[in-house]
A = this chain, B = another copy of it.
Amino acid sequence: MTSTPSRPLSVTVWNEGRHEQTDAEVIALYPDGIHGAIAAGITDNLGDAVRVRTAQLDDPEHGLSEEVLADTDVLTWWGHKAHGEVSDEVVDRVHRHVLSGMGLVVLHSGHWSTIFRRLLGTTCTLSWRSEHDRELVWTVDPTHPVAQGVPNPIVIPRQEMYGEFFDIPTPDELVFVSGFTGGEVFRSGCAFHRGHGKIFYFSPGDQEFPVYHQKEIRRVISNAVQFVAPAGNRVLPSLNHRDLDWFLTPELTQP
């Protein structure tokens, strides 16, 4: 029961893009940038069902102008060492678009981004170690759309460790829990609904490891893109004064 969307989803893959400017190891692992690998994974999996563009921190307006966001169904976010350089104006804009219905997929160190913390309201802190742990990604919700088509567990041979306590609100849907060689566990795949928008956080992926070339990881990200795609019209929830019996006027009840 696969399905073919009637028009392609517009996906914008955002990348901080700084490691790629200076770190030889990262350049070697990701010659097309981390955004390039993520975009390729989405295209490989979803084909004609998506139209993918990329944007980076050093683009004008970080590549996230009002025009771009208005034309984006789903935004994916990867950042690490320059969260503080994303302008308040762009964070506000992305925030507004998510609450209006744009989907957001936050990846790995994006947990610490301003937009993720703005949407969730918590510190989004965690424990970490980068010493070549192996990560096993376990599905705890096998009926969830994001978990379809991947083994349980997914084995990631070498990966940075992210461990609990992960200071996020209780996810609306907990899909994956990871375990690491060192013994830590982590809620690694989490869905949140905010306003008219959906958010999926997926922790695997690091600039030092080839995680975004792994086919199971690319499948999860592609599933997540489809999962957070807008369900209805793009509109910001608003304060509404309502007279008695307003709901008998059909135009007022349209979502």
Contacts and interface: CB of A to CB of B under 8 A. Distances in A.
Interface pairs A-B: 6 shortest CB-CB: A3-B3, A151-B253, A167-B237, A179-B185, A125-B239, A119-B121
A138 interface: yes
A84 to B, nearest CB: 14
Contact of A253 (B129, B134, B153, B197): B153
Contact of A242 (B127, B166, B198): B127
Interface string A175-198: 001111111110100001111111
A172 B191 CA distance: 13
Interface stretch (A5-13, A17-25, A35-43, A63-71): A5-13
Nearest to A171: B174
Contact of A240 (B5, B119, B127): B127
A200 to B, nearest CB: 13
A156 B165 CA distance: 19
Interface stretch (A26-34, A51-59, A139-147, A207-215): A139-147
B184 A242 contact: yes
Interface string A106-144: 000000100000111111011111010010101111111
A89 interface: no
Contact of A148 (B3, B6, B172, B232): B232
Contact of A231 (B128, B145, B163, B240): B145
A87 interface: no
A20 to B, nearest CB: 24
Contacts of A184: 136, 138, 179, 242
Contacts of A166: 140
A168 B198 CA distance: 13
A126 B138 CA distance: 13
A161 B142 CA distance: 20
Given A121-B118, A253-B153, A129 B243 contact: yes
Contacts of A232: 142-143, 148
A85 interface: no
Contacts of A99: 122-123, 167
Contacts of A61: none
